[in-house]
Amino acid sequence: MTLVKICGITHVADAEVALAAGADMLGFICYAKSPRYLTLHEIIAILSELRPLPPDRRTVGVFVNESVDSVRNILAWTGLDLAQLHGDESPALLQQLDNRAFKALRCSDQAAAAIGADRFGHLGPPAGPDLLLDAYHPHAYGGTGQRADWRIAAAIARKHRLLLAGGLTPDNVAEAITQVQPWGVDVSSGVEREPGRKDHEAVRAFIAAAKQLSP
């Protein structure tokens, strides 16, 4: 079954709609330069409204170039399940996070993707993906709405549990799943009416389109 992550959650109502529609993971941005950034207190407040979550649902903090201690502390304080490392982190940093982190790759070509997959693909947590592939952008760390290269994604997905991100929408997610065969799909801006605020109908449509291809 294709898993779905709804990322960039900033409001309880958006999280509730995503969970009710069948989202498997909720993503919370812990990077201060993002328009979807939340403070620790804001994340804690939202999660307190949602708990208890079903045991098969996961919450994910998205980090960019944070230290090991910072990621560990934020996971502990907020109760987030997993860390998505979306910056320039090393394999050594992932290894210090006790099987609770996975790396996001932003690759411009097949060779770079292969190198990244070899470096990070074996470090993913048992309860999450091995890797996330996002669209390449020379300056932004994600959330751009640009589409990832599905050919690169498909090559990675043949070897690793891949979470596909980058430019996905309710209109193209089924095609993406058919072509890439990923472990899961990740969307943020593709289901928003403005940065940080989800379009509830788009969230439902995205999840329905992704899940309809699952056995």
Per residue in 71-128, pLDDT (tens digit) is 999 999 999 999 999 999 999 999 999 999 999 998 767 888 889 999 999 999 999 9
Q: What is the CATH number of domain 3-211?
A: 3.20.20.70
Catalytic residue positions, numbered? 7, 134
Q: What does the domain layout of the chain look like in residue ranges?
A: 3-211
In the chain, alpha helices (H):
12-21, 40-50, 68-78, 91-95, 110-120, 150-157, 173-180, 200-211
Token pair, residue 196, equals 């940080």
Instruction: Quote the pTM value.
Output: 0.94
- Are the beta carbons of 84 and 61 closer than 8 angstroms? yes
213: left (phi over 0), alpha (psi -120 to 50) or beta: alpha
Per residue in 188-197, pLDDT (tens digit) is 999 999 989 9
Token pair, residue 197, equals 């605020």
